[in-house]
Amino acid sequence: MKGKDLLSIADLSGEDIRQLISDAIDMKAAGWLSTLSGKTLALMFEKPSLRTRVSFELAMRQLGGETIYLSPAEVGLGQREAVSDVARVLSRYVDAIAARTFSHQSLEALASYSSVPVINALSDGEHPCQALADLLTIYERKGELNGLILAFVGDGNNVARSLMLAASLTGMHFRIASPPGYAVDDRVVQLAQGNAAGSGGEILCTADPRLAVSRADIVYTDVWASMGQEAEAEARRKIFAGYQVNSELLSLAGEEAIFMHPLPAHHGEEVAEGVIDSPRSVVFDQAENRLHLQKALLAEILGGLEIPLAGFR
């Protein structure tokens, strides 16, 4: 992966994902390293961030590198300054760019003009770093990925797309329940189905959350209205009203099923009050694992590892 962009989970293979999980497990145990001493990562964000910004900044610091944060006002991507110019200027200064953009097209344009690796730190298309950290969390809890049933309830959004693709590459069975008109787009579904045919996984898209969650090993949800969709929030509350993850829906999952959410959460909307604080929840493990997975990702892309790889079996 050295020197490569990560814009989509489709940029990875199943082996790449397993390697990143292995690296992350080892790095989580190893603590602070000097792997990226002398390297600098630019964080260019068009959207607010808690977990993504903090985890990337700490990941670089714990690997001996540095970050430079660029706010929307400082860059004005595509408005104050052309995307092509931003990409070529930053390429002269830093070793990699992590970009959080409203438009996935802006991210692709940035990568096409950049001579240094570009990492998708969230776009309207995908959220690959979240999905990779989620698979790390699942592996830690379950000891495997192959054959597990991951049920996603809600909007076929950027997180759902990345999870579907990641699951399809690692032999997981991915089910998603969304209201009509809010499903994952056909292009991503077809790509995931092709991956699953090779990995032994299965993809199921349905409008029935009970069918999706039945006997699932992992139950996952996300907000009904993402950043940039605030004007649709009230309408979406009505459309998604039957898609709340609550104790009744969770009772249909497997006895050892875990609950996941990428945060931020709207308690009482997509997830019932108390579920995130229940014994089944691994939500804050997910948040922590953003740090460890991104350390592994940055080390792979920017310089290789200085520790033995023994985590993933």
pLDDT digits (tens, 9 = 90+) for 186-201: 999 999 999 999 999 9
CA separation for the pair 102, 107 (Å, rounded): 9
Q: What is the mean pLDDT of residues 122-130?
A: 97
Please give the structure tokens belonging to residue 169.
Answer: 């590459």
Check pLDDT > 90 for residue 79: no
Strands 173-177 and 149-153: parallel
No. of helices (H) and no. of strands (E), the chain: 12, 9
Check pLDDT > 60 for residue 310: no
Question: pLDDT class for 265, splitting at 50, 70, 90?
Answer: very high
Say which CATH class 9-126+290-302 falls into. Answer: alpha beta
Asked whether the domain spanning 130-286 has the same topology as the one spanning 9-126+290-302, the reply is yes
Please give the structure tokens belonging to residue 228.
Answer: 């940039």
Residue 213's H or E segment, with its range, is helix 209-213
Strands 218-221 and 258-260: parallel
Determine if the pTM surpasses 0.85.
Answer: yes
Dihedrals phi, psi of 136, to nearest 5 degrees = -60, -45
Comparing CA positions, the residue from 216, 165, 226 lying closest to residue 191 is 165
Please give the structure tokens belonging to residue 1.
Answer: 């992966």
Q: Kindly report, residue by residue over 6-64, the tens digit of the pLDDT.
A: 999 999 999 999 999 999 999 999 989 999 999 999 999 998 889 999 999 999 999 99
Q: What is the mean pLDDT of residues 219-224?
A: 97
CA separation for the pair 95, 300 (Å, rounded): 13
Minimum mean pLDDT range among 46-60, 73-87, 148-162: 73-87
Q: Kindly report, residue by residue over 276-302, the tens digit of the pLDDT.
A: 999 999 999 999 999 999 999 999 999
Question: For residue 32, what are the CA distances in angstroms to 24, 89, 98?
Answer: 13, 30, 21
CA separation for the pair 37, 60 (Å, rounded): 9
Q: What is the pLDDT of residue 233?
A: 85
Average pLDDT value over all residues in the chain = 93
Check pLDDT > 60 for residue 313: no
Check pLDDT > 60 for residue 306: no
Question: pLDDT class for 304, splitting at 50, 70, 90?
Answer: low
Q: What is the pLDDT of residue 61?
A: 97
Check pLDDT > 90 for residue 312: no
Check pLDDT > 50 for residue 307: no
Domain boundaries, the chain: 9-126+290-302, 130-286
Q: What is the mean pLDDT of residues 125-142?
A: 98
Question: pLDDT class for 157, splitting at 50, 70, 90?
Answer: very high
Q: What is the pLDDT of residue 228?
A: 65
Say which CATH class 130-286 falls into. Answer: alpha beta
Sort 23 into a burial class: Cβ within 10 Å, 0-12 / 13-18 / 19+: buried
Q: What is the mean pLDDT of residues 147-174?
A: 98
E strands along 118-157, which residues?
Answer: 118-120, 149-153
Please give the structure tokens belonging to residue 12.
Answer: 């990875």
